[in-house]
Amino acid sequence: MSIELPPRACLNCVHVRPTIHGDAITCKITKETHFTKHVCSSHEFSALWQSTTEDQPEPTSIVSQTVQDRSKIYGPPQPCHHNIGLTWTALLQQHYGLFLDHPVPDFLVAQMMAALKLVRASKTYHTDNYTDAIAYTGFADEFQNTTKGQSSQPG
């Protein structure tokens, strides 16, 4: 049995997200293992867990910060998703030799991007996949809510 500790919880090294395996602590980043003479009891572990998670940002603030950071690079999400929809429409029409009455809507682009992140997460764990999936589903909700009353079906 192993226990994953939150960031900065390893008292014997400065590594991020160490995992305790019996009397060893392994860093998930560097894969280095440090052996200890003492492993926390459940009471001590609980206190350690609380003290290291109290200063952790809430998931919503992580997503908000990610959205803000990416918006500085890529611009506002809605026009970006709209342009992705235009591009995907052109590619699908060209590839399949068909004509779509309207471009892939921005909310559907966001839903498909969230699906992409979930598929990636099913292959291997990387917190970025979940952060992005949450952001994309938020965009999908916002974009689709804005277009309420308009058909979301082609044709």
pLDDT at residue 152, rounded to an integer: 56
Q: Where are the alpha helices (DSSP H) in 75-154?
A: 77-96, 106-123, 127-146
**Which residues touch 63 (CB under 8 Å, ≥6 apart)?**
131, 134, 135, 138
Pairing of strands 24-27, 2-4: unpaired
pLDDT at residue 137 tops 70: yes
In this prediction, residue 148 has a pLDDT band, given cuts at 50, 70 and 90, of confident
pTM score, whole prediction: 0.59
Give the whole-angstrom CA distance, residue 60 versus residue 49: 20
The single-letter DSSP state of residue 11 is S
In this prediction, residue 150 has a pLDDT band, given cuts at 50, 70 and 90, of low
In this prediction, residue 92 has a pLDDT band, given cuts at 50, 70 and 90, of very high
Mean pLDDT along residues 100-127: 96
Q: If you search the block for the tokens 């960031």, which residue do you land on?
A: 7
pLDDT at residue 96 tops 50: yes
Mean pLDDT along residues 71-93: 95
pLDDT at residue 17, rounded to an integer: 46
Taking only the tens place, the pLDDT of each residue in 36-77 is 433 333 333 333 334 344 454 565 688 888 899 999 999 999
